[in-house]
Amino acid sequence: MAVAAQTFSRTNFREFAHTRDVIRTNYVDHVFSNSPALAIFANQTLGNFGGVRLKGVGHRTQEGGFSIIQPVILGAHAGAGRQTGPFDTHNVSPDDNTRYSEANWRFYQHGLAVSEHDLGINKGDAAISSFLDQQTKQVMRAASDLVATDIYSTTSPATALTALPSLIGANTTVQGLAGGTFVQFNSRGLSAVGTAPAAVTFTSGAFSAVGIEDMRTLYNNASEGTIGPNVILTSYGTHERYEGRLQPAERFMGAVPTADGSFMALAFKSTPVLPDRKCADGDMFMLLAGEDGISFISLSGFDFDFGPFKPSSNQNVMVSPLRLTCQLVIANRQYSSNRMTGITD
């Protein structure tokens, strides 16, 4: 004999939604601070990692849109010139040196589930708030951990966001722009400026022998005039290798004070060097986080935001979905960011 599906009886979830939203606000900094990359790109603050100067620089929100269109400037405008005098003609010809990359949205989710039994054993507002507190934190932490992993991944599925190793490369195609076709759309790696895209190398070696020298090259190759990296991300192993090469005085003189007044972050050319457990050992990324470099763009309303509570059709459960629609994009690979791999002791 068939039995009708049982649905959740309570339909007024406003008090739960209010509690969840208050808790979410309190946990935003905490759940993202496990990874400096995630704190820079997915959040509005950098927590305890680098002070206020990096606050929100890598994060943008887009209102609607089928995809993300990123203008990429591939050379200087050719219309500039000298005049013979004040009555000489000026250039009126357009110069098309901008191309556009297109990045498709990527979707992440989790669910904050509450059952009738949970509510039954957590009587009273304080008990329910405590229960939702733990559930909200765990849901946000699990989703953010997955995003942080994907930021550094070299083997991401097609449904993941475009990772840093893919964004920063040479002679490859990323988000619709081919480095082999557009020579200016290639990272310089550790090679001499002007090296053909197919010959650019990103491989370093023993840090004790070439580490500091390669960091200089990496930084300079990611710079153009006053444009350059504003954060350096690496593994804990390489962070320790770098710290080990510094003299005691340099560790403090070059350090970047964090929010708690300590010297957790080292610096290179006044740029904070931050260790991230999501970064593979032997990798180092020098990034310009922000609109002129690498940006984490989220869709408005789907930026680690919870949807309304909704009852399950055949369970005594209500679920509030955590939703993130996002993508990592790069403005120009040539002089906004750089990376090196293969770092050993």
pLDDT in tens, 119-161: 666 666 666 666 677 778 888 889 999 999 999 999 888 999 9
Lowest average pLDDT, out of 23-27, 91-95, 126-130, 191-195, goes to 23-27
Tell me the average pLDDT across 242-270: 62
**In this model, does residue 187 exceed pLDDT 60?**
yes
Q: Within 13 A of 302's CA, how many CA atoms are on the CB side?
A: 19
**In this model, does residue 37 exceed pLDDT 60?**
yes
Q: Which helix (H) or strand (E) holds 264?
A: none
For all residues of the chain together, what is the average pLDDT? 81
**What confidence category does residue 53 fall into, taking pLDDT thresholds of 50, 70 and 90?**
low
d(CA 187, CA 202): 9
d(CA 64, CA 197): 35
**pLDDT value at position 262?**
38
**pLDDT value at position 318?**
81
**pLDDT value at position 115?**
75
**pLDDT value at position 216?**
96
Phi, psi angle pair for 119, to nearest 5°: -70, -30
- What is the 8-class DSSP label of residue 4? P
Tell me the average pLDDT across 50-75: 77
- Say if strands 310-311 and 68-73 run parallel, antiparallel, or are unpaired: unpaired
Q: Provide the token pair at 21.
A: 């939203």
At 80-91, the pLDDT tens digits run: 778 878 887 777
**In this model, does residue 8 exceed pLDDT 50?**
no
Bridge partners for 272 per DSSP: 267
d(CA 312, CA 101): 40
**In this model, does residue 283 exceed pLDDT 80?**
yes
Tell me the average pLDDT across 32-44: 80
**pLDDT value at position 327?**
96
For the whole prediction, is pTM greater than 0.85? no
Q: Answer yes or no: are the C-beta atoms of 198 and 171 closer than 8 Å.
A: yes
Nearest one of 30, 27, 31, 59 to 43, comparing CA atoms: 59
**pLDDT value at position 259?**
36
**pLDDT value at position 92?**
73
**What confidence category does residue 39 fall into, taking pLDDT thresholds of 50, 70 and 90?**
confident
3-state secondary structure of 109: strand
Query: Which position has the higher pLDDT, 41 or 117?
Result: 41
**In this model, does residue 45 exceed pLDDT 80?**
no
Beta strand spans in 192-293 (E): 231-234, 266-268, 271-275, 284-287
Share above pLDDT 70 across residues of the chain, in percent, rounded to a whole number: 76
**pLDDT value at position 50?**
46
Q: Judge residue 1's burial from the number of C-beta atoms within 10 Å of its C-beta, 0-12 exposed, 13-18 middle, 19 or more buried.
A: exposed
d(CA 10, CA 339): 53
Q: Answer yes or no: are the C-beta atoms of 263 and 21 closer than 8 Å.
A: no
